[in-house]
Chains A and B, each alone.
Chain A
Amino acid sequence: MTFQEVVNALGRFWSERGCLLITPYNSEVGAGTMNPGTFLRVLGPEPWKAAYIEPSKRPKDGRYGENPNRVQQFNQYQVILKPAPDDVLPLYVESLEAIGIDRSRHDIRLLEDDWESPTLGASGLGWEVWLDGMEITQFTYFQQAGGLELDPISAEITYGLERICMYIQGVDDIMEIEWGNGIRWGDLNRQGEKEFSEFHFEAADVSVCFGIFEKYQQEAARMLGMGLILPGYDYILKCSHIFNVLDARGAISVSERTSYIGKIRDLSRMAAGRYVAQREELGFPLLKREKAGRRKSG
């Protein structure tokens, strides 16, 4: 299976099981969790089922396109199920079958992994999923986001697409993954890896970055204050990304680190709290829609 076939198969599998196929976010994120389709939608009582691919940017992991396993931008396939269905683990294993991984022919294991995002004020309990010794998925029952206790609980399934494709295609180098139609991952992304590694590690202007971090931070707070939650959240994501760039650039000392993370977390909390209040004012629209849907089908 090519990379794009895997993405399509997962999309088909989850859309058939009631997920909306939404789009990746249009701003840099470190993980699919930061897409408002997860971070904001898991808040409050409204049901939500969505699946999407998310290009995830981790400046520190860049290796100039020279390491077979590490890149600064990789792809996650993110599935968020709210509330978490009782058969979420069987569903997950069936989704693997949809991309050609047969449980009876592999060692599929769940290893305790408690997930925590200090910048999002979010945490959950779950596992890393190992396929024959390789981590291919993060599986998390969200407990908290933006500092708020969650109810209902969402299940988050994050597939590491490159890892899975390397396994399926039997290649040892990420660059060798066939994306589709004979074009390889490296053909598409090697140059980007090289350029972004150089940017993150050497070229990024530290004082410019510090300056825009501050501006983004102020703008995020201002937007949230005005009740413009989505623009506010957008600027939080920008802060988070610039922080990651500065961190990769080696510009943030150990003691500053904690304080920067704290700044982003405070904004995330503010966004989460205001988002829930706003949805409540709107009368939790998706809750109503679910009831209406039930009436119709019932």
Chain B
Amino acid sequence: MKKDFLLEIGCENLPSGYIDDAVAQLERSFRETLKSQRLPFESIGVSGTPNRLVVLVKQLAPMQETKVETVTGPPVSVAVDKDGNYTRAALGFAEREGIEPDSLKRISTGKGEYLAIERKISGRSAGKILAENVPALISGIRFPKAMKWDGSGFRFARPVRWVLALFGDAVIKIRVGNVVSSGSTGLSPFSRERVGVDGIGDYFSALKKHGIILDNAERKKQVSAMAARAAAETGGHLVEDDGLCSMVANLLESPVVMSGKFDRSFLELPREVIVTALKSHQRYFSVEGAGGGLKPAFIAFADGATRNRKEIVKGYERVLQARLADARFYFNEDTSAPLGKMAEKLEGIVWLEGLGTLRQKAERLEVLCGWLLERIETVEPGIEETTARAARLAKADLASEMVKDGKEFTLLQGYIGREYARASGEPDPVCEAIYEHYFPRFSGDRLPEGEAGTLVSIADKLDTIAGCHIQGLGPTGSQDPYALRRQAISILRIMIERRLTVSLREAAARGIDIFREEGLLPGDEDGKRVFAEVLDLFAQRFNTMLRGEGFDHDLVTSVLSSPWEVPYAVRDAVRGLQEMRGNGSLSDFILAMKRIINIIPKERRERISGASGREALDGLAERDESRLGVKRSLFSEKEEQLFFDASCEAASRLAGLEFPAETARFLEILPGIVPAVNAYFDKVLVNCDDSAVRENRLSFLTDLYKAFGLFCDYSQIAGEQA
């Protein structure tokens, strides 16, 4: 008869961040194990609280399914003689397998007819299979950190104190470290008491009676609803925070909501300082009034406490009061002098070992921003002053009492800078740029809006990437302690979405150069290694990013293998190629380009740089034989001349594009020469016997290879074979 199976792993409090993941892992591993053990079931439900991980398998079969195993013997041609009798081979096979020859069967395989036997393997009982497999499923949960707590050496996120395992009414005996399973549960990690349950149904009602909400998703929903209700009861509404809801829900089993107050005078503090003090320190929710401003109130959760609430809330309030008093102390200290004064303290803060102080970083940002400013079109009046000032002050808050030394308010870097800048009377655009220069902080985060914020953001990230690579701190494998990959993506996102026409290649080179000018490039470095590594970082991230958008891998690689400069032009080009592939026009174009490339001997296909490509393009555009390796006097075929003319015409239009802003428009021009290319290769034998003519032709094709290769490495594009 089918029965339910229940497993409860009772633990001392698991870290709140571990629970959802452990639940998902158990669900997966149970499903896989029951399947591979041929134990059918109706459903698996896994849930968790800090004190228990619970698996419920519904309607689990009592026995493994019977399996029919086929053993193949000798081929019939050998096993049966011409009279239809079994030979020695057949009899030997039957004897080895321990069956009567009468039971031998014939099966046909791809190689012909064979003797075989079929054997039924009857299933073992589910109870035995569970007892054998469950311990490994428990120890197989991977936690970010695990520990030992007794002589068994068993490792888990926190000590396991009891295990309940019931299959129907029967206890399944398993051992987890020193703990042996039973039919009892624990209601609190603080109690030695174990409560025997009378079957699986009784287990769930016992927990329910105790106010324990087992299901983590359900608990989160309730926490969120209870918080919203409690906030409404204070006359305001909840400052929603999904992350806080998840955390709070996994810090308790039996949510009890309470609301408390703090002194109104603290509302003078910047809003996020208060919200952060409530959240990061105490895991309290903030409450807003009708106008959107904070109310001097908070919502907090206790675990199961239903008595003595008044005193508990008083405790909450006293702790919070002390935290807010700390914040006010920091705020008053910090704002007693203008932010510019604080920026001077950056002198004393080392940014990264070997790369000077934060003051030096701020100075580099100012230089790099100036360089960027000369290369973009701006609309904001006074942008030079704004950007320079913002760069100077961007890191000042790191010297503040509020932010320094890695406390909870450190999360507010940038925000605090803006608030202090305002308090110091800095102009609005400067304040905003200080705040915005940290954006985007994570994937999907907003970008800086203002021009100054945009520039300082790019400069800051580029400076960090360059500096870390100089110190050999670039990302390797899964290690990226300075989050350089994320910062590279952030720069790309900003440059693409704001359509900045700055060459990222030049910007990276400039960023590294500023370190050199400051004497921060070690003596044995010429910057080439750093530059190559930085570009490689960008190319790799860009590649991942574009493929993530759904562009084909080969198209992305083809454009990123060219000497690209401007991120949005790269993306435009990839999008253009993808469209051509979509409407079927890509094949002919790429085929033609590959005809040009493939005939050039490999040793002449040097890597194209921006300069060599440009040199060839200009030579063609101006039909300047002295700059090209071609003599028209050596042309012998009509198609040769026509191809030359078509190529030079295209080159002249390509050279007329605005570089590097609109290079993606090569796709509007270059496909036009396809007929001329094909006519040429159909008629003209490039590798002809006359060495001067042959050399002339190859030389011309090499010029085309270089000039057209400025935009894309056509050889990387798949499927279109020459």
Q: Are A105 and B307 in contact (CB under 8 A)?
A: yes
Q: Which residue of B lies closest to A85 (CB)?
A: B150
Determine whether B13 belongs to the interface, using a CB cutoff of 8 Å to chain A: yes
Give how many A-B residue pairs fall within 8 Å (CB-CB).
98
User: Bound state CA distance, A69 and B323, in angstroms?
Assistant: 10
Contacts of B191 in A (CB 8 A): 90
Contacts of B145 in A (CB 8 A): 114, 125
Write the nearest CB–CB distance from B676 to chain A, whole angstroms. 64
Contacts of B303 in A (CB 8 A): 107, 109
Write the nearest CB–CB distance from B237 to chain A, whole angstroms. 23
Q: A79-118 vs B: 1/0 string, CB under 8 Å?
A: 0000110110110110000000001111111111010000
29 A-B pairs whose Cβ atoms sit less than 8 Å apart in the complex: A68-B322, A83-B151, A86-B150, A86-B159, A89-B12, A89-B189, A104-B307, A105-B305, A105-B308, A106-B305, A106-B312, A107-B302, A107-B303, A107-B312, A108-B190, A110-B189, A112-B15, A112-B16, A127-B13, A131-B315, A132-B312, A132-B315, A133-B300, A134-B319, A141-B147, A141-B148, A152-B151, A153-B148, A255-B350
Interface residues of B in 134-159 (CB under 8 A from A): 145, 147-151, 153, 158-159
User: Bound state CA distance, A104 and B318, in angstroms?
Assistant: 20
Write the nearest CB–CB distance from A72 to chain B, whole angstroms. 16
Contacts of A104 in B (CB 8 A): 307
Which residues of A are interface residues toward B (Cβ below 8 A)? 68-69, 83-84, 86-87, 89-90, 92-93, 103-112, 114, 124-125, 127, 131-134, 141, 143, 151-153, 167, 172, 253-255
Contacts of B325 in A (CB 8 A): 68
User: Bound state CA distance, A101 and B192, in angstroms?
Assistant: 18
User: Bound state CA distance, A87 and B178, in angstroms?
Assistant: 13
Determine whether B349 belongs to the interface, using a CB cutoff of 8 Å to chain A: yes
Q: Are A125 and B147 in contact (CB under 8 A)?
A: yes
Contacts A87-B192, A109-B252, A133-B315 given; does A254 touch B349 at CB 8 Å = yes
Determine whether B525 belongs to the interface, using a CB cutoff of 8 Å to chain A: no
Q: Are B350 and A109 in contact (CB under 8 A)?
A: no
The CB with the most chain A CB atoms within 10 A, among B300, B311, B319, B326, is that of: B319
Having A133-B315, A253-B350, A254-B350, one finds 9 other A-B pairs with CB under 8 Å, namely A69-B322, A84-B150, A109-B303, A110-B189, A112-B16, A132-B314, A133-B319, A153-B150, A254-B353
Contacts of A134 in B (CB 8 A): 315, 318-319
The CB with the most chain B CB atoms within 10 A, among A92, A110, A255, is that of: A110
Write the nearest CB–CB distance from A78 to chain B, whole angstroms. 19
Write the nearest CB–CB distance from B306 to chain A, whole angstroms. 9
Q: Are A93 and B190 in contact (CB under 8 A)?
A: yes
User: Bound state CA distance, A32 and B189, in angstroms?
Assistant: 26
User: Bound state CA distance, A87 and B188, in angstroms?
Assistant: 12
Write the nearest CB–CB distance from A200 to chain B, whole angstroms. 16
User: Bound state CA distance, A280 and B651, in angstroms?
Assistant: 84
Contacts of B17 in A (CB 8 A): 112
Determine whether B56 belongs to the interface, using a CB cutoff of 8 Å to chain A: no
Q: Are B150 and A133 in contact (CB under 8 A)?
A: no
Determine whether B320 belongs to the interface, using a CB cutoff of 8 Å to chain A: yes
Interface residues of B in 604-652 (CB under 8 A from A): none
